[in-house]
Structure 1
């Protein structure tokens, strides 16, 4: 089996029951994007606190939304290329069904 590991069960009820192993490079890339998004959100907070002009705030908010969409695309691609592809190679289709359901929810 590939290094991607999913559906690892833990006895701790407070812990998520499903996990995806990510290599260090992928994890670093995702966390870097999230930290940039976090910085954009903090910038938006300061703009509101400083009574910035509404259109300026809206432009920054739009940029933050685009950054989140970009993060989602990167994560979705990794999921399809890793988790979904691996299960298909192993003869399963549960991840494909899960992906289709998830995409329907995301595209509402």
Structure 2
């Protein structure tokens, strides 16, 4: 299971693909909660994942923080992976502070 900057990917906790519909997210949440009846820690992880994916802003954040696929199908090239990485970095880069604003010196 891949980790995001803040922990496990909500998609992987619920066993979903990134393009899952809202109905699929809800169904996966309900099924996971039934299977984790007595495990409080697992139920907490499932609840956090569901809460992240049920709101559009939370889903967008989870999409950005979820790692890119490690392996592509043979008919897809590395250019697709590179384009996706560049698109995600363009979305995230305005959120990353520069070293000067943090009081760090380059070098």
TM-score where L is the length of structure 1: 0.30
